[in-house]
């Protein structure tokens, strides 16, 4: 009986607190309206550069009088995204889609190329993307028609687009697409605009080489970056974002190496290593352990 009395008393106190909370807390603000499923935006200050976003993925396309250069179909698990992408292009121009260029070989960015191929596009990707996709044989992800080694320049209808392989980073097949006149790059998944790389971003990745690739990308002439996932508030990336990502990775690598040398990889390094000067990056708490785990694999096991 004594226990029951105690429970009743506690229940009364909790209920009392809930009532007080209800009286003093304002009603929550209504949630902002959900963004539309997809959207096409012309990049400010350009004549012909667009971003097509579908949910949380996006791709660049360039419209010229001689045809369109499209990139990444972003249709993994949703073929309707590529259909919408092609329809959006057709609203802007009657010119043919001449190219579809893959940023790297991961399905979430390059599955769904069929509507582009059907429209006559030539699919271009880094040579390792082609090699991998030939082996993987994913039904939704078309194998590129043409492969790029270190560099290729595409000129179409007065627009120049340079494709640069700046080394292995988040994948071993990432192409940086540079519009030299506009000083814009389209670069996917290896620079995350103030965010700690996610579990999926480090799952297929190359420590050390990733840093070198960021340095090489920073030697190219650009000042704005279109990312493969929308930045905070939909903003484009900056060189400062890439410099921050590089600084984060340099310190991560150095701290994890120390932990590895002390025999602490994988545990307790994943719990002990922390980078306080980067703790304000987005997703730091959520993803720092995945990053430590990946770099522990590198320094501790040669993986
Ligand atoms: Zn990726």
Containing structural domain, residue 142: 38-301
Asked if residues 284 and 196 have their Cβ atoms less than 8 Å apart, the reply is yes
pLDDT for 24: 57
In a domain, 283, yes or no: yes
In a domain, 260, yes or no: yes
Low-confidence ranges of the chain (pLDDT < 50): 1-22
Q: Which two tokens stand for residue 50?
A: 């667009």
pLDDT for 8: 40
> How much distance in Å is there from the Cα of 186 to the middle of ligand 1?
13
49: left (phi over 0), alpha (psi -120 to 50) or beta: beta
> How much distance in Å is there from the Cα of 145 to the middle of ligand 1?
20
> How much distance in Å is there from the Cα of 260 to the middle of ligand 1?
27
274: left (phi over 0), alpha (psi -120 to 50) or beta: beta
pLDDT for 26: 66
In a domain, 5, yes or no: no
The CATH number covering residue 283 comes to: 3.60.15.10
> How much distance in Å is there from the Cα of 11 to the middle of ligand 1?
50
> How much distance in Å is there from the Cα of 60 to the middle of ligand 1?
16
Distance CA 182, CA 180 (A): 6
> How much distance in Å is there from the Cα of 199 to the middle of ligand 1?
11
> How much distance in Å is there from the Cα of 75 to the middle of ligand 1?
13
pLDDT for 25: 61
pLDDT for 6: 42
Asked if residues 270 and 292 have their Cβ atoms less than 8 Å apart, the reply is yes
In a domain, 117, yes or no: yes
> How much distance in Å is there from the Cα of 109 to the middle of ligand 1?
7
Q: What is the pTM of this model?
A: 0.89
Number of domains in the chain: 1
Kindly report, residue by residue over 66-108, the tens digit of the pLDDT.
Answer: 999 999 999 999 999 999 999 999 999 999 999 999 999 999 9
pLDDT for 16: 43
In a domain, 94, yes or no: yes
Q: Which two tokens stand for residue 243?
A: 């410099």
Asked if residues 231 and 245 have their Cβ atoms less than 8 Å apart, the reply is no
Distance CA 301, CA 294 (A): 10
In a domain, 278, yes or no: yes
In a domain, 138, yes or no: yes
Distance CA 43, CA 52 (A): 10
Q: What is the DSSP string of 62-73?
A: EEETTEEEEE--
In a domain, 198, yes or no: yes
Distance CA 37, CA 218 (A): 33
- As a residue count, the chain comes to 303
> How much distance in Å is there from the Cα of 295 to the middle of ligand 1?
18
The helix (run of H) or strand (run of E) holding residue 284 is: helix 284-301
């Amino acid at each position: 009986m004594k226990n029951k009395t105690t429970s009743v008393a506690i229940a009364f106190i909790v209920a009392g607190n809930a009532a007080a909370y209800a009286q003093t807390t304002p009603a929550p603000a209504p949630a902002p309206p959900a963004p539309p499923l997809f959207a096409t935006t012309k990049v400010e200050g350009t004549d012909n550069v667009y971003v097509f976003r579908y949910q949380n993925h996006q791709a660049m396309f360039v419209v010229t009088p001689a045809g369109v250069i499209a990139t990444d179909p972003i249709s993994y698990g949703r073929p309707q995204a590529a259909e919408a992408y092609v329809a959006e292009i057709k609203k802007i121009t009657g010119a043919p889609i001449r190219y579809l260029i893959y940023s790297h070989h991961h399905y979430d960015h390059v599955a769904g190329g069929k509507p582009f191929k059907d429209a006559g596009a030539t699919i271009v990707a880094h040579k390792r993307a082609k090699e991998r996709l030939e082996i993987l044989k994913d039904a939704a992800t078309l194998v590129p028609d043409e492969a790029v080694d270190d560099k290729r320049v595409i000129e179409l209808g007065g627009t120049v687009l340079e494709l640069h392989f700046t080394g292995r980073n988040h994948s071993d097949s990432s192409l940086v697409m540079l519009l030299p006149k506009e000083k814009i790059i389209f670069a996917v998944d290896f620079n995350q605009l103030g965010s700690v790389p996610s579990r999926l971003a480090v799952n297929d990745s190359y420590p050390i080489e990733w840093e070198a690739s960021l340095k090489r990308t920073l030697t190219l002439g650009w000042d704005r970056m279109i990312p493969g996932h929308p930045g905070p508030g939909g903003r484009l990336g900056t060189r400062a974002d890439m410099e921050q990502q590089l600084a984060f990775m340099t310190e991560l690598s150095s701290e994890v190496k120390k932990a590895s040398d002390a025999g602490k990889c994988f545990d307790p390094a994943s719990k002990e290593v922390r980078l306080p000067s980067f703790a304000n990056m987005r997703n730091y708490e959520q993803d720092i352990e995945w990053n430590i785990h990946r770099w522990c694999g590198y320094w501790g096991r040669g993986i």
